[in-house]
Amino acid sequence: MLLVVMDVLLLLVVLLAVCCPVHGTWDSCGGSCGRPIAFRYGKLRIVGGTDAQPGVWPWIVSIEAPLEGGMAHICGGSLIRSQWVLTSAQCFIEARNITMWQVVVGATRLTQLGPKAQVRNIKRLLVHQHYSNVTQRNDIALLELEQPVQCNSYVQLACVPDASLRVSELTECYVSGWGARIARAGGSAYVLQEAQVHLIDAGVCNSSGWYRGAIHTHNICAGYPQGGIDTCQGDSGGPLVCQDKSADYFWLVGLTSWGMGCARAKKPGVYTSTQHFYNWILEQMGLHTAVATTARPQPAFASTPVQRPRPTPIEVGRFTPCPFPVQKLRDLLTRLQEFVHFLKGGNV
């Protein structure tokens, strides 16, 4: 029995490697993004802020710096390719030697990483050239990891939208992070916290009594007019994601940036809008092509009946047409791996 399963596994691995390579190399993250697969979030009931279940936000990373002989969580970030993390520029204002910093993926509890977590060193930090630490404009940065991470049930890519996504129409939005006070009610220290938030109209957010003009067009406000649930210190760089109501994936629409205090009325969280930096992201990763410029803001779904951008990991779709339902194969592969592990007597 075990041999048959092993054969099927081998066949699937060969099939994926031969038919769906990413830039010529085997990449366990290519082909899919924005879909948690370890946890069926369709059945999830989020009430305010609370501890996140493992695998619910599989793209979130903890960016850590050396402190007192150990590593300390500094900021959140999102995995957008197997070797790239999107985060905020402000996280690195006081960074000295970035090669000593680390990125943790696949974790929920930072004090107890667990077998699914992967730790990587940082090869390169790319901060937006026009980032201002006074106004927090262009609060965006990329980290290139020394080694790619392996995608699995607990590690998946986030989908970065281009200019064609109508973000303001998305109604199911969530923030997550290991920061100071997100979801204070009921949250425990070092366990990833999550909260549902509402996108707040930029006009309202910029009005008197709110942020009075400090909100830039490249920002998104999210939270609640009455406050109470919000991101806070240590959540910076982390994801603001929104789910398409009728779809099974999330878009990474924002990066936690700033706010006046945390959870205060009329002072919601302010996020860097990722879609405004889509081309910047491509350029930094060395993926910007003539196609990319001329194709924007055309969504890549010309023949799709529902006028909605198709979620593909940034740039992967354009370069690697894959004839197989690659995510289904990967899901099957993950389940088979878990089954083999079970047959060998391990816990799933």
Residue carrying the six token digits 């290991």: 178
- Regarding 170 and contact with ligand 4AZ (CB under 6 A), the answer is no
- Regarding 77 and contact with ligand 4AZ (CB under 6 A), the answer is no
143 - beta bridge partners?
85, 125
Q: Encode 326-345 in three state secondary structure.
A: HHHHHHHHHHHHHHHHHHCC
- Regarding 117 and contact with ligand 4AZ (CB under 6 A), the answer is no
Assign 89 to helix, strand or coil.
helix
The tokens describing 91, both together, are: 């996280």
- Regarding 259 and contact with ligand 4AZ (CB under 6 A), the answer is yes
From the list 4-12, 159-167, 189-197, 253-261, the region that binds ligand 4AZ by CB under 6 A is 253-261
Alpha-carbon span 67 to 81, nearest angstrom: 28
- Regarding 258 and contact with ligand 4AZ (CB under 6 A), the answer is yes
Q: How far is the CB of 102 from ligand 4AZ (least distance, A)?
A: 19
- Regarding 232 and contact with ligand 4AZ (CB under 6 A), the answer is yes
Residue-by-residue DSSP string for 200-225: E-HHHHTSTTTTTT---TTEEEEE-T
Q: Judge contact between 29 and 145, C-beta under 8 A.
A: no
Closer to ligand 4AZ by Cβ: residue 155 or 241: 241
- Regarding 187 and contact with ligand 4AZ (CB under 6 A), the answer is no
- Regarding 156 and contact with ligand 4AZ (CB under 6 A), the answer is no
Contacts for 269 with CB less than 8 Å, ≥ 6 apart: 175, 197, 221, 222, 223, 230, 231, 240, 256, 257, 258, 259
Q: How far is the CB of 288 from ligand 4AZ (least distance, A)?
A: 30
Q: How far is the CB of 262 from ligand 4AZ (least distance, A)?
A: 4
**Binding residue for ligand 4AZ, selected from 164, 206, 233, 279, defined by CB under 6 A:** 233
Alpha-carbon span 345 to 271, nearest angstrom: 46
From the list 11-19, 22-30, 130-138, 227-235, the region that binds ligand 4AZ by CB under 6 A is 227-235
**Binding residue for ligand 4AZ, selected from 256, 274, 275, 320, defined by CB under 6 A:** 256
Q: Residue 335: phi, psi to the nearest 5? A: -65, -40
From the list 17-25, 30-38, 116-124, 232-240, the region that binds ligand 4AZ by CB under 6 A is 232-240
- Regarding 138 and contact with ligand 4AZ (CB under 6 A), the answer is no
* Omega before 297 within 30 of 0, i.e. cis: yes
**Binding residue for ligand 4AZ, selected from 108, 236, 243, 273, defined by CB under 6 A:** 236
Residue whose CB is nearest to ligand 4AZ in the complex, by number? 259
For ligand 4AZ (CB under 6 A), the number of binding residues is: 11
Q: Judge contact between 55 and 153, C-beta under 8 A.
A: yes
- Regarding 269 and contact with ligand 4AZ (CB under 6 A), the answer is yes
- Regarding 231 and contact with ligand 4AZ (CB under 6 A), the answer is yes
- What secondary structure letter does DSSP report for 294? H
The residue ranges that bind ligand 4AZ (CB under 6 A) are 230-233, 235-236, 256, 258-259, 262, 269
